[in-house]
Structure 1
Amino acid sequence: MSELRKDITLISGIGQLSTTLLGTGLFMVPAIAAGIAGHFSLWAWLILFVAICPIALTFAQLGKRYPNAGGTAYFVRQAFNKRLEKSVAWLFVSVIPVGVPAAIALAAGFLQQLLPQPINSALVAQIITVGLLVAVNLAGTKSSGRLQTVIALSIFALIASFWWQGSIGTSDMVMPELTQESLWSIGAALGVMFWCFVGIEAFAHMGEEFKNPQRDFPIAILIGCFIAGATYWACSVVILKYHAYGSASFDSASIPWLSEQLFGEKFKLLISGLGFAACFASVNLYTQSLSRMVWAQARDYRPNSALARLSIRGVPANATIAIAVVLLISCVIGEISGLDLEFFLKLANGIFVLVYLLAMLSAFKLLTGAGRWLAAVSLLLCVLVFACLGWSMLYALCVFGLLSLPWQKYSGKKETQIEPN
């Protein structure tokens, strides 16, 4: 078997993208943004959503025209060359040491509250999370899509219950008056908040598995982004009303704290379970996309390697296991380092924004007419967001610079290449 199964429908695609965009972000970023910008974070969410719309539309156009498991790396190859494609592919993989372990740590934090005392430790919870990721990914995209759709519906129900029980009124939704000083805090908040809309580039790796990618892929991206943006804004309104933010440790526990305030102690286990499911869903799509990117690179450049093989379920099983091993190592290092989630988020955001920027640059070259102008606007927005990252963008630039060096020339080796279909 050399082709991925086309199991993703429109509904499951919307479910996968919306849970990926919400996932880990919903349980920490609104509180972190509130800590940075206060009530001005409501403006920041609107600005971010407006900025992400042209980017999402451009990804939708690319995925519609070039559905491939290589995602952004494949777009770059079509627009430029194979050398730059490889740099982008491994730039995406470089998010594993900084971004994915932070997300797994957050998911494991919820899972830890559900584990019995003998195995109740952060590292054990992270190992169990990685094991579950492998199991779900090996089951195939159809099972994964159904699971994430159920999780998405549960998240919406949670936020709706917060509004109902929290007696949210029109006075809580009043936008503060913008000032010159507020623009700086909004810009700083945007540098962290962009994490909430990373996932579109990962979703691009799933285009090859849609039953009808030309019709359903762009619709799934647009509806998924709208749902996620509305949910983040609604969650921020509740967090600001109850002042559920203020410190690094409290920010990641803001949603459980809110549920305890609004519903009492009896809902603690339920929220922990939902929190784990939401975070797990987000990491799950990244595990899928990373494994498919590795598989796509192996298929095109090392067709005889173990990483280029698919299982009987049409899943890149060997690539999935390889990603899981790297995740386990990264989780151990992350646990030992003791660095906070916000630090890792900023480093990961640098990688993601640079990937988005390169995707928009490719779109500007590949698309024509209105699509090309939309790509130009998206490219400019990505540059502005990249500037908002400050020092953390240096990590992405350094990694990309190292990956762009002609290592193949230095090693004196040649590799087998086959042209894509």
Structure 2
Amino acid sequence: MGKLSTQAPGLAKTLRLPQIVALYIGAVIGSGVLLIPGLAAEKAGPASILAWLVMSILVLPMAITMGLLSARYPSSGGVSTFVRTAYGDRFGNMVGWFFLLSVPIGAPILSVTGANYIAILLNWSESQVYVAAGLLLLAVLMMNVVGLHVAARVQTVVVSLIITILILAVVASIPHASVTHFTPFLPNGWLSVVQAAGLMFWCFIGWEAVTHLSEEFVDPAKNAIRGVLWSAGIVALLYFAVAFMTVATHSYGGGISAASLSVMVQLSLGPIGGWIVAVTALFICIATANAYIGAASRIAYSLAQEKIAPRWFGTLHAKYRTPTGGLLFLSLCFVVVLGVLYFDVIDLSRLIELPNATFFATYIGGCLAGVRLLHNSRVGRIASWTSLVCTVGLYPFLGWSALYPLLIALVLFICQKRHT
């Protein structure tokens, strides 16, 4: 990956408000926008749009908590730094490892998902899908080697394209909308709306990723919270618009819910709509992988600085001052995970539950940190407690995967005991 140096003056401050907003949007808008609107509408009918409204409001406290903490404690350690500041090194390190061990699994899943959308149109073999997924990850890794300012500029372009395509999808479907598709409004009862809201939670995870880049924000005290508010508003509007038109055009049910966006676009644009959705999926996966790989490489750097990760995790590029040690660790993990998926050692739908659980545990840690660190801010206090109640309440519903963060914590505890 180029000439390396372990003696670093620190990470460069290169991220201004537009790049911060783009990174947040790219981290939050994931494959959920392709899947969840149709699945939620199938579960709750037209009343699912009420769940979208509620979730768009509930996600604000979580986003605000992360933004306020980033503004006060900008660090490549992100949530782990917040937890370390609030509760000490042991818990801070634990949360850092939660996040770091999420991305090596999550990013390959994203790349395979994006490659599969293209593969369907081009009739690729399974081998070609995994080659494409590997090349996608390699491209994102190299962008992060050159520097986050380059990755952030690419992110800005990619997110702009995603927004444009989603707006096109909504506008193109307007002629096919009908008020008759909103009746009956509540076909499956109010419980189905609550269940749909739980399904939607996964669409709004991602605010924690950009906290790891906050050390590189230009004027974090001002831009961190601005970035959160702008991106939260844009994300909520995009999700709601797509979900509303999914119901208005009845692009769900009958086995088409998982491809509702594609169905909706093809109403006006025909087969080319399939290509639009495929390109959108690819852009979304690139944007999300970019945000998380950038964040994970920096938490690796931070853990090395704290001396609770291998020293080479903290290696910086001599010229670009980027965390190439962390990127190398991720690269090695990506090869292993892609191999596991390719040889069908673990099914993708099962594997994805593991990073979901560690991301959830990371959120709980961040909310707990917010409760203590933002106690002197009325907005911060309310946002932290609201987020904490929501995340703790949903954690037991993760099932067996909820044990993954507990296993990580146990291994860390044993390692720390051996070194004391």
Other-structure match for 2:271 = 265
Q: 1:333 to 1:51 in 2, by over 3 A?
A: same
Other-structure match for 1:407 = 415
Q: 1:381 aligns with which of 366, 371, 390?
A: 390
Output one character per residue of 1:161-210: Cα deviation in whole Å (capped at 9) or x when no partner: 2232212658389697669x644333333343222221110111011011
Q: 1:378 to 1:269 in 2, by over 3 A?
A: closer
1:27 aligned onto 2:34: yes
Mean CA deviation greater in 392-401 or 114-123:
114-123
Is contact 1:42-1:175 (8 Å) kept? no
Which residue identity lines up with residue 158 of structure 2 in the other structure? I
Is contact 2:172-2:265 (8 Å) kept? no
CA offset at residue 42 of structure 1? Answer: 1.5
Q: 1:199 aligns with which of 192, 206, 212?
A: 206
Q: 2:166 aligns with which of 159, 184, 192?
A: 159
Calculate the TM-score normalised by the size of structure 1: 0.87
CA offset at residue 319 of structure 1? Answer: 0.9
Calculate the TM-score normalised by the size of structure 2: 0.87
CA offset at residue 30 of structure 1? Answer: 2.2
| Separation (CA, whole Å) in 2 of partners of 1:172 and 1:52 | 31
Q: 1:175 to 1:287 in 2, by over 3 A?
A: farther
Other-structure match for 1:13 = 20
Q: What secondary structure sits across from 1:200 in the alignment?
A: coil
Mean CA deviation greater in 37-46 or 59-68:
37-46
1:220 aligned onto 2:227: yes
| Separation (CA, whole Å) in 2 of partners of 1:301 and 1:251 | 48
Is contact 2:72-2:221 (8 Å) kept? yes
Output one character per residue of 1:123-182: Cα deviation in whole Å (capped at 9) or x when no partner: 112111211121221121112222222222222222222232212658389697669x64
Output one character per residue of 1:28-60: Cα deviation in whole Å (capped at 9) or x when no partner: 232333343333321222221111111111111
| Separation (CA, whole Å) in 1 of partners of 2:346 and 2:310 | 40
| Separation (CA, whole Å) in 2 of partners of 1:114 and 1:128 | 18
Q: What secondary structure sits across from 2:55 in the alignment?
A: helix
Equivalent pairs counted in the alignment come to 409
Mean CA deviation greater in 7-16 or 99-108:
99-108
Which residue identity lines up with residue 294 of structure 2 in the other structure? Q
Q: What secondary structure sits across from 1:121 in the alignment?
A: helix
Q: 2:313 aligns with which of 304, 307, 314?
A: 307
| Separation (CA, whole Å) in 1 of partners of 2:153 and 2:116 | 24
Output one character per residue of 1:221-263: Cα deviation in whole Å (capped at 9) or x when no partner: 1111111111111111222344444588x55544334333321
Is contact 1:114-1:273 (8 Å) kept? no
| Separation (CA, whole Å) in 1 of partners of 2:114 and 2:364 | 28
| Separation (CA, whole Å) in 2 of partners of 1:172 and 1:14 | 37
1:283 aligned onto 2:293: no
C-alpha RMSD of matched pairs (Å): 2.9
Mean CA deviation greater in 360-369 or 336-345:
336-345
Is contact 2:178-2:249 (8 Å) kept? no
Other-structure match for 2:403 = 395
CA offset at residue 278 of structure 1? Answer: 1.8
Output one character per residue of 1:327-385: Cα deviation in whole Å (capped at 9) or x when no partner: 22112213333866654555433322221111111111112231224322221122233
1:239 aligned onto 2:243: no
| Separation (CA, whole Å) in 1 of partners of 2:106 and 2:16 | 28
Q: 1:95 to 1:383 in 2, by over 3 A?
A: same
| Separation (CA, whole Å) in 1 of partners of 2:69 and 2:155 | 24
Output one character per residue of 1:274-324: Cα deviation in whole Å (capped at 9) or x when no partner: 321121101110111111101110122169822212112121012112112
Q: 1:149 aligns with which of 143, 156, 169?
A: 156
Q: Spell out the pairing of 1:79-90 with structure 2 (5 A cutoff).
A: 79-90=86-97
CA offset at residue 80 of structure 1? Answer: 0.7
Is contact 1:10-1:219 (8 Å) kept? yes
Is contact 1:353-1:385 (8 Å) kept? no
Which residue identity lines up with residue 413 of structure 2 in the other structure? L
Other-structure match for 1:69 = 76
Other-structure match for 1:419 = none
Q: 1:27 to 1:291 in 2, by over 3 A?
A: same
| Separation (CA, whole Å) in 1 of partners of 2:158 and 2:17 | 16
Other-structure match for 2:55 = 48
| Separation (CA, whole Å) in 2 of partners of 1:303 and 1:349 | 23
Which residue identity lines up with residue 362 of structure 2 in the other structure? V
| Separation (CA, whole Å) in 2 of partners of 1:345 and 1:191 | 17
Q: What secondary structure sits across from 1:57 in the alignment?
A: helix
